[in-house]
Amino acid sequence: MRALRLSRYFIWLLLTCVPSQSLADHRVGSERIDFTAYTLRQNELSLGIGAAAYGVSDELTVGTCVPLWFAFPLVNAPIASGYLKLRDWFHGPLAASLRAAVAYLPAGVVSSAVSDDDTRVGFVVVPIELSLSLRVNSSFSQSLQVSWVYVGASGSRARDERIDLRIGGVSAVTSLSLHLLSELRLSRVVAVTLRESILLGSGDLLVSGQLERAGTRVDAQLGATQLYNGVVANIIPGIALSWANINVHVGIGVGTIWLPFLGLPIRTITVVPDADFYVRF
């Protein structure tokens, strides 16, 4: 009974607390910036487990994908990433934005933890997003985002005394996805969300490679078609909690998982978890 009372009290707190000087999401001008057309306010900083961003102006936000910088132990090189997000300057009920990002790993030597010392791997990812967000009223917002992603990779392995085999090549793939985000604000702290993603199309996976073994060289120009069959989509109901500076998004849905930052869906239908945590100040 005591636990039940505590739970009720906690929920009541969540639904009713109104922090002063709040920078929380659920106020006009402080909306979440992922899957929407919104940007940070000038000089506002957002630090989270997924991304770090800074508002250069009310219309321009720059940011980076945080986890990629911590991939260093795996690939022996930093994976640089960054993005620019530019939104319209009208600040009306309808917002529009364009976000261009890049993640780049130079073709450095991959750590011996994943391969031998003669293997070199590099890649570049370029996601471009067009977003529209409409604040229908003070409680409800609807966002639409179209994202196009180019993923290119290159790799090589030199011949050595152990294996008479030399491999090198590059690959590339593109995809176009539509993401929808509905936000229903129940209070200044709590909003329920519904996020849907659907793959509109994908290019073929291209592989251009060269293999040399025992004096025989093979140049391959190959492409993989039908990367995805049928409808590729997911739907994730969730909840967004926003206090003075702390923001938490959690949700769980079903469908296809879109790989973070790469923007490419995997081909398995599964339970799709969604979580984010960030601080804005």
* Cα separation, 150 vs 144, whole angstroms: 20
* Residues 141, 163: Cα–Cα separation, whole Å: 59
Nearer to another protein, 133 or 193 (CB): 133
Q: Which of 181, 95, 198 is nearest to 140 (CA)?
A: 181
Choose which of 92, 113, 161, 230 interacts with another protein (CB under 8 A).
Answer: 92
Rounded CA gap, 153 and 155, in Å?
7
Least Å from the CB of residue 127 to another protein: 11
Which H helix or E strand runs over 86? strand 80-87
Nearer to another protein, 114 or 224 (CB): 224
CA 35 to chain CA mean position, Å: 9
Question: Closer CB to another protein, residue 8 or residue 267?
Answer: 267
Q: Which is nearer to another protein, 21 or 225 (CB)?
A: 225
- Can residue 73 be called a binding residue for another protein (CB under 8 A)? no
167 binds another protein (CB under 8 A): no
Q: Determine if 98 is a binding residue for another protein (CB under 8 A).
A: yes
Stretch that binds another protein, among 8-16, 69-77, 142-150, 255-263 (CB under 8 A): 142-150
CB of 208 to another protein, least distance (A): 9
Residues 209-268 binding another protein (CB under 8 A) are 213-227, 229, 267
175 part of the interface to another protein, by CB under 8 A: yes
103 SS3 class? strand
Residue with tokens 């293999």: 211
Confirm if 243 and 281 have CB atoms less than 8 A apart: no
Of 17, 56, 124, 132, the one binding another protein (CB under 8 A) is: 132
Distances (CA, A) of 281 to 25, 53, 54, 140, 146: 11, 11, 10, 24, 28
Q: Does 128 contact another protein by CB under 8 A?
A: yes
Under rule CB under 8 A, residue 176 binds another protein: yes
253 beta partners: 272
Query: Are 126 and 261 spatial neighbours (Cβ–Cβ below 8 Å)?
Result: no
When the beta carbons of 211 and 248 are compared against another protein, the nearer one is: 211
Q: Name the one range near another protein by CB under 8 A: 8-16, 40-48, 170-178, 255-263.
A: 170-178
CA 246, CA 38: separation in Å to the nearest integer? 18
Binding site for another protein (CB under 8 A): 88, 90, 92, 94, 96, 98, 128, 130, 132, 146, 148, 150, 172-176, 200-207, 213-227, 229, 267
